[in-house]
Amino acid sequence: MAISSSRSLGDWFTAFEREAFRLETFDDYSQSGGVEAYQAFLAGQEQPESHKNAAWLRTVGDATEAGKRMYRVHILSRPLTDYLRFELSWGYQRNMAVGEEFFILDTTDAENPIPGAPDFWMFDDSAVGVMSYDGSGKYLGSQFVTEDRVAEYRSYRDTALAHAVPFTDWWARHGE
């Protein structure tokens, strides 16, 4: 079976034409980048300039300025971990300023409608890169699924979105 993409995950962030969707399922990505910013957050310090001006913001901003959509759903439950408090208050707020959209699927008082769904990026409904992490939240890499499995990931996306609420609405009720 052919893999759904001959491009790397990084290549897709500039190659996608319409939309890039991300499903986040973990409570801690603290070892996957932004460690300095996370430590500053925990210490009650100001956001480091490297966090405020991260390359990711240029990637998202370039895409959204070109009319492309970048959005994600994070499956989580309360109380929030320290990492989620950091990600939602510093990361999401920062990324929204350049056009990324966020949704929350809160499983605090409800069952997860897609238990076992992995973290992934989906590009233009046709290429899916499944993300791998170790137990401490360190990113290990990604692998693209075969074409015959892309519909499965579309279903994960559609179900997550059907049960999620816009981040700003959720944050207004549960944010810190």
- Nearest residue to 34 (alpha-carbon basis) of 18, 48, 21: 48
Residue 157 clears pLDDT 70, i.e. is over it: yes
- Residue 136 banded pLDDT, cuts 50, 70, 90: confident
Does the pTM exceed 0.75?
Answer: yes
Domain 9-174 CATH assignment equals 3.30.1490: no
Report, as an integer, the average pLDDT of 138-159. 95
Enumerate the H helices of 66-137 as residue ranges.
Answer: 82-86, 93-96
Q: Residue 1 and residue 108: Cα distance in Å, rounded?
A: 39
pLDDT of residue 91: 93
**Burial (CB count within 10 angstroms: exposed 0-12, middle 13-18, buried 19+), residue 172:** exposed
Pairing of the two strands 69-76 and 101-106: parallel
- Domains in the chain: boundaries: 9-174
Is residue 1 very low, low, confident or very high in pLDDT (cuts 50, 70, 90)?
A: very low
pLDDT band at 5 (very low <50, low <70, confident <90, very high): low
Mean pLDDT of 32-54: 91
Count of C-beta atoms within a 10 Å radius of residue 79: 9
